[in-house]
Amino acid sequence: MSIFGNRETRLVVQGITGRDGSFHTRQMLEYGTGVVAGVTPGKGGQRFADTVPVFNTVAEAVRETGANAAVIYVPPVGAAGAMFEAADAGLSLIVCITEGVPVMDMTRVLPYVRERGARLIGPNCPGLITPGECKVGIIPGNICAPGRVGLVSRSGTLTYEVVNQLTRSGIGQSTCVGIGGDPLNGTSFIDCLRAFQEDPSTDLIVMLGEIGGTDEQNAARFVREQVTKPVVGFIAGQTAPPGRRMGHAGAIISGSSGTAAEKIAAFEAAGIAVMKRPADVVELVRARLAGTTRMKR
């Protein structure tokens, strides 16, 4: 078990012949992900890496291969179009890796995708990985290991840092999800917390947040009210000055809101164990895993 992606995931790669798309498709195939199709308009009929059939449209790919999920590596100007197309094709999971998608585009994409019942992850995210089953996106497979810790994060390499610390200490993961650093995205912390709470293969949740907005505060409220599994959290950007965008479009402190201190306080009030630094994750997770009964089976 896992959340959002598993052995049953049949993936279509939008932008499969592009520089990023082709590189990461090879990595996903190597990992054992069920990549069943690719889409690049005008290249229909070709095969990628001699195996994966390429189609002109997502609808055609779905019809011919039974794909149920899409990952998007197309450039920013075409990303909104790719998300609309994936939603129209009836896919239940859409992961958009593309960085730099205009926010105004997302105001139209998000309601469109939701009305069609699809889950969108991203944009500007590393995607997700269910260790040993499938990897949708760009999270390096070699730093992950199968296990019972669910991880959700707004960033990419910080996720790798923390996952690596867990794996090296013998703590595996059920699923790791990077929801992305943009101000408007398809999947929130709360969506992932709810899924991990309901996932029988997840015993503990690690949540990596950062400055900007109120997603972490809302997530903390949700944890207090509806999550019974232990949660360990981190907030990046304690040293960030207000009013400056720290790389991610979403990571900006406006006025007195969105600061690391505010978010850490919200975590603590919700009973979330707060890491002072990434390396703390191992000790905090170990202490709380020891207390869960499921691990004793």
Partner 1 sequence: MNLHEYQARTLFRAAGIPMPDGDVATTPSEAETIARRLGGTTVIKAQVHAGGRGKAGGVKLAGTPGEAGEAAEKILGMTIKGLVVQRVLVVPAAEIASEAYVGLIMDRATQRPVLMVSAAGGIDIEEVAARTPEKIARLGVDPRYGLLPHQALGLAFFLYRDVAQARAAARIMEQLYQVFTANGCSLAEINPLVTTPEGRVLALDAKLSVDDNELDRRPDLALLRDESAEEPSEVQARRANLTFIKLEGNVGCVVNGAGLAMATMDLVKYYGGEPANFLDIGGSSNPDKVVNALRIITSDRNVKAILFNIFGGITRTDDVANGIKTALAQFPVQVPIVVRLTGTNEAAAVSILQGIGMTALSDMDEAVQKVVAMVQEAA
Residues pairing with 233 in the sheet:
207, 274
Instruction: Name the catalytic one among 24, 154, 229, 248.
Output: 248
Question: Could you tell me whether strands 146-153 and 69-72 are parallel, antiparallel, or unpaired per DSSP bridges?
Answer: unpaired
Q: Cis bond leading into 123, ω under 30°?
A: yes
Catalytic site includes residue 248: yes
Assess 218 for contact with partner 1 (CB under 8 A): yes
Backbone angles phi, psi at 113, to 5 degrees: -65, -45
Site for partner 1 in 235-294 (CB under 8 A): 236-241, 244-251, 255, 260, 276-279
Assess 108 for contact with partner 1 (CB under 8 A): yes
Nearest to residue 15, comparing CAs of 88, 87, 63, 77?
77
User: How many binding residues for partner 1 (CB under 8 A)?
Assistant: 60
Assess 26 for contact with partner 1 (CB under 8 A): no
Assess 140 for contact with partner 1 (CB under 8 A): yes
Q: Which stretch binds partner 1 (CB under 8 A): 6-14, 49-57, 154-162, 265-273?
A: 154-162
Out of 59, 145, 158, 274, the only residue in the binding site for partner 1 (CB under 8 A) is 158
Give how far the C-alpha of residue 288 lies from the chain's centroid of Cα atoms, to the nearest Å: 24
- Could you list the residues that contact partner 1 (CB under 8 A)? 23, 76-77, 99-104, 106-108, 110-111, 126, 138-140, 143, 153-161, 164, 181, 183-184, 208, 210-211, 213-215, 218, 234, 236-241, 244-251, 255, 260, 276-279
Which residues participate in catalysis according to the annotation? 248
